[in-house]
């Protein structure tokens, strides 16, 4: 634990600048806070909306992250309105939040943190609060009081565990006011508060107290090996990846029984040390370290001991049984502690620990899965250091229940915007770098899907994935190179998808080419190329997709991008029309073979999509114009005039139908072909 304050205060700026600087230092150290945890404040004179000097507290807003925090993330509250609350004996969370909303100097600022009153009731300029691993490790031991005394003597105050809210705030306020010389407050099973006359002073004290705890625990741990290696099969990194990729869809399917989730696989060395230890099983089942951890990871992970991880069939059965048993146990725990005000949340684990392989974390999206996983790294550190000093203990069952079913947190869920139609889903698009494929990938992402962006041109795929991640958030898109004629590359891409998201729900098989030329002049290489890409390419991708979806046992939707040339072939387009017709027949066979598994396969037949398409090369335009006896410039208009609706067909039109077929709205449709061509009599079914 190093003090990172590197600049004199005068160089940083005014008191507010110093608060931002301090907050980012705290946020940058994940052993202090992770993912939105912790909070900081100053009390200062600011101007109200009429320019009058007003005593205010500037405090971190709810939901912002300290490591990237900016001034706009800090609401200001009028102290004259906040402080009278100290005279009350009790206040509900709802009343407190409503009241604090009235104290804001600018109602448009973000909502203040739930721990606002803890800061307000401490009569100091700067207040810092973290959930430091080293502090939590001390408080989460059987003999915490003795150890804290050993580390700090009487220099800090200690407050019993209470869920954050008015009661805890008042207790901390009273404790500090009766011990004005203490340098900080340790909150049991929660974290640390320090303060100072400047942001730097509060920070320095914070780091100093955490460093003392850290040093103490390291000294104690020297004499003790906490995790001893169990006598079990160890796998090389490659073998681990291979087994994990084989099993991930089974896990994803099993934990998605009620709500789909995205997985994150993690075999970092600290995770492996824990899951491969003799102690991991029992320690992992004791319970969460802090309320913060509980919200993300539930009361405990699923410990999944596979008798032989390399036996995929047997392991799959074991996974399904263990997940079911976890959900049953969770529902019993819920029944035991609930007051029946709130219905049971998803009973499936957020963390799955597998000896030999590592950990899977789950979440409604890639970001949520990452947060749960990140937090467990810290839980392991806390357990390790607590066990090094003494015996790890956690929140009680009732306390853990009261945090997971905390009305404040459940309320946040009710006001969150409704989930978009493809949220929690993973979709693969081939030929996604341009034209129809690109529009479909963008539209799927806009509707909440995680999108695997694949293309022959891996630079363009990467650029599109970056664009999607920038717009829709962390790891929404995964770019992978994919030549659909390259079997090995497709297998490798599916390996990556299995590890990255844990599975796949939707495949848009789009990559294709359109060589032109009459049959008696067509080079055999053009013919073969069309079959390789337009037929075999779809076969190879759907083969891997179906294998994965069957393991997942959650159905799936495959959509092939066909063409109007299937029902109505054009002269000079033999290689294209034949290879696309074979592709459609493949879609029907896939629909027949996989209906019993809930896997649907449908085709869309667009016509004459010019926008952004690689199919319409200059050569192709010239060739088609010649075939129709018109000028190249008149080509788009020619296609418009030949359909019944006299309309241009765009990539967005195709995407509309593709998204419909990918979605639950078409759940009763498989083996179908839908034209998107403005209406062509030639293409009507006969
Ligand atoms: Zn806290």
Q: How far apart are CA 380 and CA 136, in angstroms?
A: 12
Ligand 1 centre from 198 Cα, in Å? Answer: 21
Indicate the length of the chain as a whole number. Answer: 686
Question: Do the Cβ atoms of 518 and 569 come closer than 8 Å?
Answer: no
| Whole-number pLDDT of residue 231 | 85
* pLDDT at residue 417 greater than cutoff 90: no
**Would you give the DSSP letter of residue 149?**
H
The alpha carbon torsion through 129, 135, 139, 140 (nearest 10 deg) reads 110
Tokens of 406: 């905390």
E-strand spans in 26-125? 39-47, 53-59, 76-78
* pLDDT at residue 636 greater than cutoff 90: no
Q: Report which of residues 271 and 180 the model is more confident about.
A: 271
Among 251-255, 319-323, 462-466, 628-632, the range scoring the smallest mean pLDDT is: 628-632
Ligand 1 centre from 191 Cα, in Å? Answer: 6
For residue 628, what pLDDT band results from cuts at 50, 70 and 90? confident
For residue 661, what pLDDT band results from cuts at 50, 70 and 90? very high
Ligand 1 centre from 226 Cα, in Å? Answer: 27
Catalytic residues, by residue number, are: 576
| Whole-number pLDDT of residue 621 | 82
Question: Do the Cβ atoms of 134 and 217 come closer than 8 Å?
Answer: yes
CA atoms within 13 A on the CB side of 507: 29
Ligand 1 centre from 118 Cα, in Å? Answer: 10
* pLDDT at residue 516 greater than cutoff 90: no
Which H helix or E strand runs over 163?
none
Q: Rg (Cα) of the chain, in Å, rounded?
A: 30
For residue 292, what pLDDT band results from cuts at 50, 70 and 90? confident
The alpha carbon torsion through 457, 463, 464, 466 (nearest 10 deg) reads 140
Q: Hey, is 544 helix, strand or coil?
A: helix
* pLDDT at residue 409 greater than cutoff 90: no
For residue 295, what pLDDT band results from cuts at 50, 70 and 90? confident
* pLDDT at residue 610 greater than cutoff 80: no
Q: In what order do the strands lie in the sheet with 426-429?
A: 477-481, 450-455, 426-429, 506-509, 556-561, 599-606, 673-676
Average predicted confidence (pLDDT) for the chain: 93
Which H helix or E strand runs over 127?
strand 126-130
Among 186-200, 331-345, 545-559, the range scoring the smallest mean pLDDT is: 331-345
- Give me the mean pLDDT over the 19-29 stretch: 97
Ligand 1 centre from 289 Cα, in Å? Answer: 12
Percent of the chain residues topping a pLDDT of 70 = 99
Question: Do the Cβ atoms of 22 and 203 come closer than 8 Å?
Answer: yes
Of the candidates 616, 617, 607, the one whose C-alpha atom is nearest the C-alpha of residue 673 is: 607
Q: Hey, is 45 helix, strand or coil?
A: strand
Start-to-end Cα distance in the chain: 76
Ligand 1 centre from 682 Cα, in Å? Answer: 68
Q: How far apart are CA 187 and CA 139, in angstroms?
A: 8
* pLDDT at residue 617 greater than cutoff 80: no
Cα 245 to chain centroid distance, Å, stands at 19
**Would you give the DSSP letter of residue 278?**
S
Q: Hey, is 37 helix, strand or coil?
A: coil
| Whole-number pLDDT of residue 443 | 97
Ligand 1 centre from 187 Cα, in Å? Answer: 9
Question: Do the Cβ atoms of 333 and 294 come closer than 8 Å?
Answer: no
Ligand 1 centre from 555 Cα, in Å? Answer: 41
Ligand 1 centre from 37 Cα, in Å? Answer: 7
Q: Which residue has the tokens 């209906």?
A: 595
* pLDDT at residue 438 greater than cutoff 80: yes
Of the candidates 639, 161, 232, the one whose C-alpha atom is nearest the C-alpha of residue 400 is: 161
Tokens of 640: 């418009």
Do the strands 358-363 and 39-47 form a parallel or antiparallel pair, or are they unpaired?
Answer: unpaired
Tokens of 620: 């192709």
């Amino acid at each position: 634990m190093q003090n990172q304050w590197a600049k004199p205060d005068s160089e940083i700026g005014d008191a507010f600048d110093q608060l931002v600087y301090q907050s980012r230092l705290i946020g940058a150290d994940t052993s202090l806070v992770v993912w939105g945890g912790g909070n900081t404040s100053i009390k200062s004179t600011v101007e109200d909306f009429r320019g009058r000097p007003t005593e205010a507290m500037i405090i971190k807003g709810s939901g912002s992250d300290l490591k990237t925090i900016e001034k706009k993330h800090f609401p200001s509250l009028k102290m004259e309105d906040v402080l009278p609350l100290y005279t009350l004996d009790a206040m509900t969370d709802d009343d407190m939040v409503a009241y604090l909303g009235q104290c804001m100097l600018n109602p448009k600022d973000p909502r203040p943190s739930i721990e606002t009153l803890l800061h307000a009731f401490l009569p100091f300029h700067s207040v810092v609060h973290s959930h430091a691993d080293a502090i939590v490790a001390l408080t989460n031991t059987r003999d915490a009081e003795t150890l804290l005394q050993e580390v700090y003597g009487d220099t800090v105050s200690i407050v019993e565990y209470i869920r954050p809210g008015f009661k805890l705030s008042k207790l901390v306020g009273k404790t500090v006011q009766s011990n004005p010389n203490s340098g900080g407050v340790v909150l049991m099973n929660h974290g640390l508060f320090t303060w100072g006359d400047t942001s730097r002073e509060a920070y320095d004290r914070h780091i100093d107290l955490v460093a003392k705890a850290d040093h103490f625990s390291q000294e104690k741990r020297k004499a003790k090996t906490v995790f001893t290696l169990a006598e079990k099969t160890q796998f090389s990194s490659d073998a681990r990846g291979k087994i994990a990729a084989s099993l991930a869809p089974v896990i994803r399917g099993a934990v998605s029984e009620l709500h789909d989730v995205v997985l994150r696989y993690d075999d970092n060395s600290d995770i492996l040390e824990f899951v491969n230890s003799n102690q991991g099983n029992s320690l992992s089942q004791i319970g969460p370290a802090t309320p913060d951890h509980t919200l993300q990871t539930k009361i405990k992970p699923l410990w999944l001991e596979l008798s032989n991880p390399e036996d995929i069939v047997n392991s799959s059965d074991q996974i399904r049984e263990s997940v079911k048993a976890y959900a049953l146990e969770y529902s019993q725990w819920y029944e035991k502690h609930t007051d029946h005000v709130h219905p049971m949340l998803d009973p499936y684990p957020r963390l799955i620990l597998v000896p030999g392989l590592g950990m899977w974390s789950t979440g409604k999206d890639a970001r949520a899965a990452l947060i749960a996983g990140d937090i467990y790294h810290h839980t392991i550190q806390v357990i390790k250091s607590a066990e090094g000093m003494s015996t790890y203990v956690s929140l009680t069952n009732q306390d853990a229940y009261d945090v997971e079913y905390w009305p404040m947190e459940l309320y946040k869920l009710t006001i969150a915007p409704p989930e978009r139609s493809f949220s929690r889903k993973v979709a693969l698009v081939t030929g996604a770098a341009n034209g129809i494929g690109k529009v479909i990938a963008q539209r799927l992402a806009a509707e909440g899907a995680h999108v695997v962006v694949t293309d022959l041109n891996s630079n363009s795929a990467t650029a599109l994935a970056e664009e999607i991640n920038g717009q829709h958030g962390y790891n929404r898109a995964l770019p992978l190179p994919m030549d659909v004629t390259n079997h090995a590359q497709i297998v490798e891409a599916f390996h990556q998808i299995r590890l990255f998201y844990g599975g796949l729900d939707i495949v848009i098989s789009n990559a294709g080419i359109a060589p032109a030329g009459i049959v008696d002049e067509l080079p055999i290489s053009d013919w073969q190329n069309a079959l390789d890409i337009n037929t075999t390419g779809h076969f190879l991708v759907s083969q891997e997709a179906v294998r994965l979806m069957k393991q997942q046992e959650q159905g799936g939707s495959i959509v092939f991008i066909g063409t109007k040339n299937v029902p109505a072939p054009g002269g000079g387009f033999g290689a294209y029309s034949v290879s696309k017709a074979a592709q459609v027949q493949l879609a029907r066979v896939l629909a027949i073979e996989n209906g019993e598994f809930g896997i649907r396969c449908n085709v869309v037949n667009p016509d004459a999509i010019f926008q952004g398409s690689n199919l319409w090369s200059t050569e192709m335009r010239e060739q088609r114009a010649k075939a129709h006896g018109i000028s190249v410039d008149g080509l788009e208009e020619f296609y418009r005039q030949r359909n019944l609706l006299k309309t241009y067909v765009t990539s967005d039109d195709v995407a509309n139908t593709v998204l419909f077929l990918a979605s639950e709205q078409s759940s009763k449709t498989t083996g179908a072909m839908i034209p998107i061509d403005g209406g062509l009599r030639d293409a009507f079914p006969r």
